[in-house]
């Protein structure tokens, strides 16, 4: 069976084909055919097969055991519950992964019309703009661009954020109690700049998220726009009927 040729590299097409097979037909810890078997089955070189398997391993769909083979990884625990409070680091630790955050940009800017509308501010009010790359086990997971009003966090700095989480700083240093957050998300495709940061192909599926966080006084203390890899995030919402 040959993989259809197209604009995508052959290894990427094979990775997508194997991913469909894994998600629809296989169970966690099922054995994946060897490189040689896959090469013969799809009529591709061993190098192409190796690159496809490396990509599936990188996104956490398979794992290797030396001397035993390659197996399907268990994805059942990798679910984000949108009804609870959100912390990327806590979530990843709960999943047995090591979180890491890289601050890419930190600056004070004036709110434009878009930010003013979403943050209950006047146009021209100062906000801190923070762009961060979130990783788990050194795999890029999400790009976050966060805006917080400078009026409530005058002494906030990049150095503070490098030492503690944003919510911890808000609560411990500024006596701001996080009350609730509203989050919306939609499917999209990665633009070039985001794809480079997330280590995925341009045009790959992503989730665009918009989160507005409120204090216990119902003031907006955070507005965040995120781009998350669709191959790494599964979201769950629980509805309760009263």
* pLDDT per residue as tens digits for the range 168-201: 899 999 999 888 888 888 999 999 999 999 988 8
Does the pLDDT of residue 65 top 50, yes or no?
yes
Calpha distance 188→195 (Å, rounded): 12
Residues of the chain with CATH 3.40.1410.10: 80-234
Helices (H) and strands (E) in the chain, counts: 8, 11
pTM score: 0.66
Does the pLDDT of residue 40 top 70, yes or no?
yes
Residue 240: pLDDT band (50, 70, 90) is: low
Q: How far is CA 81 from CA 77, 140, 184, 228, 234, in A?
A: 11, 20, 13, 15, 9
Does the pLDDT of residue 161 top 60, yes or no?
yes
Calpha distance 51→45 (Å, rounded): 10
Q: Judge contact between 138 and 58, C-beta under 8 A.
A: no
Q: Which residue has the higher pLDDT, 148 or 240?
A: 148
CATH number for the segment(s) 10-72: 1.10.10.10
Q: How far is CA 8 from CA 35, 67, 204, in A?
A: 20, 32, 11
Q: Tell me the mean pLDDT in the region 28-35.
A: 91
Does the pLDDT of residue 84 top 50, yes or no?
no
CATH class, domain 80-234, is: alpha beta
The pLDDT tens digits of the residues spanning 88-139 come to 766 667 667 788 899 999 999 999 999 999 999 999 999 999 999 999 888 8
Sign of the CA dihedral running 5, 7, 10, 15: negative
Residues of the chain with CATH 1.10.10.10: 10-72
Q: Which three-class secondary structure string do you get for 44-110?
A: CCHHHHHHHHHHHHHCCCEEEECCCEEEECCCCCCEEECCCCCCHHHHHHHCCCCEEEEEEEEEEEE
The predicted structure's pLDDT at residue 225: 96
Q: How far is CA 71 from CA 62, 76, 189, 241, in A?
A: 5, 15, 29, 40
Calpha distance 225→241 (Å, rounded): 30
Calpha distance 141→123 (Å, rounded): 32
Calpha distance 148→127 (Å, rounded): 5
Q: What percent of the chain has pLDDT over 70?
A: 84
Q: Judge contact between 204 and 195, C-beta under 8 A.
A: yes
């Amino acid at each position: 069976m040959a993989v259809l040729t197209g604009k995508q590299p052959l290894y990427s097409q094979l990775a997508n084909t194997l991913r469909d097979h894994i998600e629809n037909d296989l169970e966690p810890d099922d054995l994946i055919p060897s490189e040689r078997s896959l090469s013969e089955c799809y009529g591709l070189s061993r190098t192409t097969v190796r690159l496809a398997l490396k990509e599936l391993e990188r996104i956490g769909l398979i794992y290797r055991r030396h001397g035993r083979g390659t197996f399907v990884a268990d994805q059942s625990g990798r679910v984000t519950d949108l009804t609870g409070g959100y912390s990327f680091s806590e979530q990843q630790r709960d999943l047995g992964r090591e979180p890491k955050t890289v601050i890419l940009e930190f600056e004070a800017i004036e709110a434009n019309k878009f930010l003013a509308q979403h943050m209950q501010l006047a146009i021209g009010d100062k906000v801190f703009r923070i762009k961060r790359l979130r990783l788990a086990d050194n795999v890029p997971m999400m790009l976050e661009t966060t805006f917080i009003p400078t009026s409530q966090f005058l002494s906030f700095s990049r150095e503070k954020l490098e030492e503690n989480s944003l919510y911890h700083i808000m609560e411990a240093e500024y006596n701001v109690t996080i009350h609730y957050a509203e989050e919306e998300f939609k499917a999209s495709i990665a633009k070039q700049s985001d794809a480079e940061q997330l280590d995925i192909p341009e045009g790959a599926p992503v989730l665009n998220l918009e989160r507005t966080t409120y204090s216990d006084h119902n003031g907006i203390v955070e507005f965040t726009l995120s781009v998350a890899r669709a191959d790494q995030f599964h979201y769950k919402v629980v509805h309760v009927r009263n």
